[in-house]
Each structure stands twice: as structure tokens, then as C-alpha cells.
Amino acid sequence: MNALAFLSELARLATDPVTLLLVLVGAQVGIVFGMLPGLTATMAMSLLTGLTFSLPASQAVAVLLGAYVGAITGGSRSAVLLNIPGTPAQAAVCLDGFPLAMQGRAAEAIGLSVTASTLGTVFGVAMLALFAPLLGQVALRFGTWEFFWLAVFGVVIAGSLTGGGDPLKGWIAGTLGLLLATVGHDGIHAYPRFTLGRVDLQGGFALIPVLVGAYGVSEILTVLRRSERVVVQTRLDRVLPRFREVLRHRWHILRSGLIGTFIGIIPGVGEDIASWVSYDVARRTSRQPEKFGKGAIEGLIAAETGDNACIGGACIPVLTLGVPGSAPAAVLLAALTIHGLKPGPLLVLQHPETVWQVVALFLLATLAVFVLSLTLVRPMVRILLIPREALMPLVYVLCVVGSFAISARVFDVWVMLGFGVLGFALREMGYPVAPLVLGFILGPMADDNLRRGLALTGGDPTPFFTRPISALLLGLVVLTVVGRTALGAWLRRRRPVTEAPAVT
């Protein structure tokens, strides 16, 4: 990477008013889409790809990168304020962000999450600039066997983390999510499974209605169930966190940045997994792991840094291999191709200026999102002053719009409602919702890679246990299950399970 060429590209773009305006517009649209439950980064970028079709490539990319960073960062607003993740990547942010808001520290939580997001994005983009070719090579070592274990590992981690003192309930929710993901055509032979003869079910349950139902509708029912009114008074003394406060968490930021970038590089694994793994590692390495799920700043910072660092990581395989690292990165890849740029090894070798341009635009987008997000913290925190049951009709309408917008089918809205009732029932019985959703997201990955791995060896499962990265991931799964089961037994001996509610 030629630093001088990169700096000159950055200076050129930063002084171009049209580019700056487009980055700002993209960032603001992204923040709005990210904030609203059911509207995702992928959806924002898909819509903007069409709207920016007539623009020159560099200007279209400016809008799309602004929207990408904006949506991933903006999703934490509703996660912190309403306990509803704006995008799947923010499910882990709810765990500590919402308890912080309930403690009257919403402004602080948002300020910290925006700062962590910004640092995470900058970290990921720096890695993109410095190590794109090298890290692309590492990701290539992941085969079908490793992807299977990665999916299992993700569900086991989520179940362990969110099950409170009862990891079994977390794992049950995760398995249920994996199982429900098998409904519809299978990914290898397109065989219709468990469709009950219904055409609507042949494509399976769509992710967005499942996500919106499990989080949004179940939250609506939970809020409306209570007759007492909950209005949270929050302190608005300081939004921008003190430098000392950020510096205190430097190792969490650095570690989550590395984890997020690495997970972003792995094709098909996106911001949501990066967020969960970062959160898990932060909890394991924390001196106060018992505070996680109850408003731990470390947890919030780790989850936010991880999912945003994943943005830069996910763009590494896009630019170097032409393979998307996440769903929004797949839209970015499509947009680059539409505009005549052909991502892949040749792009990096023959047109390095394109890579520098993407990196420079990423940095501008990050800056724009940082400024816009912090400017809007105070009006957003006022949402908490409105009684929550007053917001719920609007939230339900937004959930319906988000679910319907994916493919304009009323069936998806029914799916949303069904998963909402399921999520509500699970929550009321102490089961966490997050592993259900993560299991649903990772189900196709686990299913396809298990069968593909077996098919490649004619039914011999040995590589699942003997390949180095597979063995490592399997070891982590076993350690997590055994460790949490033993820990769970110990916790149960110390206190009844009713005193350790699960985190949803």
C-alpha cells in the first residue's frame, strides 16, 4: 500500500463537496434504516444501489459505504433504547446497552457505543488497507468442515452467554432456531422439507420476519403485558465519553477489533457473529463477568467494536477475492460489479487506486456517522421519556412494514407474528431469544456444510475432527458446553434458578 497515494486520494475526496454530501446522505439514510427494527443494512444498501445506479462509480460507492457504516452503527440506537436490535448485528448490544438505559445511563451508553463503533470501523478499515492480501489467504484455509463447526460454535456461545444460570435453555433455543431454519428447500438439492404442501413455505421462513417477530413483536407483548407505566429518566450531562474512559477499555477495543476483522474476512459470516464472539471473549476475560448482561460497559464496547470492525474485514474478501464476507458486503460486491469494477485479485494488483478510494471513503463515512450519531443522541434519548406502551403501536407498524418490504408477501407478516408469539412465550418461560435467532441465521450454514463435508469424503466424518482449525473449533465447543454445564451446576447449588433470569 502506497501511503502517499492513499493520503492524496483521501485529501481529494475530503475536499470534494459532492462526495462529502453523498457520504453524509448515505450515512443518514443508513442510520435511519439501522435504527428501525426490521430495516437492515442489507436493505438500505439494496435500495440505494438502485437509486444510485445513474451516478458515477465513485459517487455511488460513497453513498453505499456511508449507508453500510451508518446502518451497522445506527442499529444500536434501538438496541440500547428499546431492547430491539435495529439489525441482527446488534442483538449482543441489547444485552448490556438496554440495562444501561434502564439505569438512566442511555446517553452514556449511546455515546460509548458510537465511539466504540467508530473505533471498530477505523480498526477494520486500517486492517483492510494494511493486510488485505495476507488476511485473504488465511480465510481461504476455512473449508466446509470449519464452516460447520463455526456455525455450531456460534449457537453454543450464544446459548451459553444468554441463558443466565441455565445454559440448557439457551442451547434449546439455539437448537430450535437451527431446526426451524431447515424448513423449506434445502440448499444443496432444493428438496422441499416440512412445507406441509404450502407454496409459501417452500422458501422457508425469511430471516427478517423471524428477527423482527422474535425481538420486536415479543418486546411489544412484553411491554403491553405490564399495566404499570415505565418511564426512564436518563442523565444527559455528557454524551461524548471521556478519553480516559475509552483508554481504560483499550484492550477490549483492540481485541474486539481483531476478532471482528478476522470474522469479517471469513466469507458468509457477518457482523452478528463478530459481535457475539467479541462479547463472549470480553466476558471470559473480564474481571467482573457477573456484570455482563446487567449493564457492563465492557460488554457494550466489545459487541459494538466487533460488529463494526467486521465491516472492514468483510470488505477484504470482497476486494481481494470477489467473495462477500457478509450480507451487506454482498450487496456492495454486486454494486461494484454493476458499476463496472470487477472485485478480485486482479483489482488489487491492477487498480490499487480503487482499494485506496474505498478505504478513504470508508474513513469519511465513519467520520460522518460519528458526527451525525453524536449530534442526534439527545433527541433520541428523549424517546425514553415517552411511556413505552405509547411507542408500541408505532413499533408494531414499523415491524409490519419491515417484514412486508422484503418480498411484499403478507405471509411474511404472519411469520413475524408467529415468531413474535413464540419469542414472547420463550421469554416468559426464561428462554433467551438471541440463540433462537442466531441458530436460525446459522442453520443453512450448518446444514449445507455438514452434508457437503460428508459428501466430499464419501460419508467419512474424520475431517470434521482431524483438520487443525476444525479440531480447534470442536475443542472450543466441547470446552464451552462442559465448562458451562459444570458452572451451571455450581450456580444452581448456590442459588435457585428463578434468581438468575436469562438475558434476552
Interacting residues toward other proteins by CB under 8 A: 29, 39, 47, 51, 168, 171-172, 175-176, 178-179, 182, 186, 188-189, 191, 193-194, 217, 220-221, 224-227, 387, 389-390, 392-394, 396-398, 400-401, 404-405, 408, 410, 413-414, 417, 420-421, 424, 429-431, 446-447, 450-452, 454-455, 458-459, 492, 496-498
- Which of 30/241 has CB closer to other proteins? 30
Min separation Cβ 406 and other proteins, Å: 9
- Which of 18/179 has CB closer to other proteins? 179
DSSP notation for 344-370: SHHHHHH-HHHHHHHHHHHHHHHHHHH
Of the candidates 168, 171, 169, 197, the residue with the CA atom closest to the CA atom of residue 183: 197
Type of residue numbered 227: S
Min separation Cβ 225 and other proteins, Å: 4
SS3 26: helix
Min separation Cβ 152 and other proteins, Å: 10
- Which of 410/472 has CB closer to other proteins? 410
Print the SS3 string covering 51-108: HCCCCCHHHHHHHHHHHHHHHHHHHHHHHHHHCCCCCHHHHHHHHHHHHHHHCCCHHH
- Which of 114/426 has CB closer to other proteins? 426
Min separation Cβ 310 and other proteins, Å: 25
Q: How far apart are CA 131 and CA 480, in angstroms?
A: 31
**What are the residue ranges of helices labelled H in 185-270?**
207-211, 218-225, 243-248, 250-265
Handedness of CA 249, 92, 283, 264 (dihedral sign): negative
- Which of 2/457 has CB closer to other proteins? 457
Min separation Cβ 240 and other proteins, Å: 29
Q: Count of alpha carbons within 13 Å of 163, Cβ hemisphere only?
A: 26
* Joined grid coordinates for residue 291: 456484570
* Joined grid coordinates for residue 486: 459444570
The 10 Å Cβ neighbour count of residue 459 is: 7
- Which of 145/279 has CB closer to other proteins? 145
Of the candidates 273, 214, 181, the residue with the CA atom closest to the CA atom of residue 402: 214
Min separation Cβ 252 and other proteins, Å: 33
Min separation Cβ 436 and other proteins, Å: 12
Min separation Cβ 314 and other proteins, Å: 24
- Which of 56/393 has CB closer to other proteins? 393
* Joined grid coordinates for residue 352: 490499487
Pick left, alpha or beta for residue 38 (phi over 0 → left; psi -120 to 50 → alpha; otherwise beta).
left
Min separation Cβ 352 and other proteins, Å: 36
Q: How far apart are CA 174 and CA 163, in angstroms?
A: 10
- Which of 56/387 has CB closer to other proteins? 387
The 10 Å Cβ neighbour count of residue 382 is: 13
- Which of 76/403 has CB closer to other proteins? 403
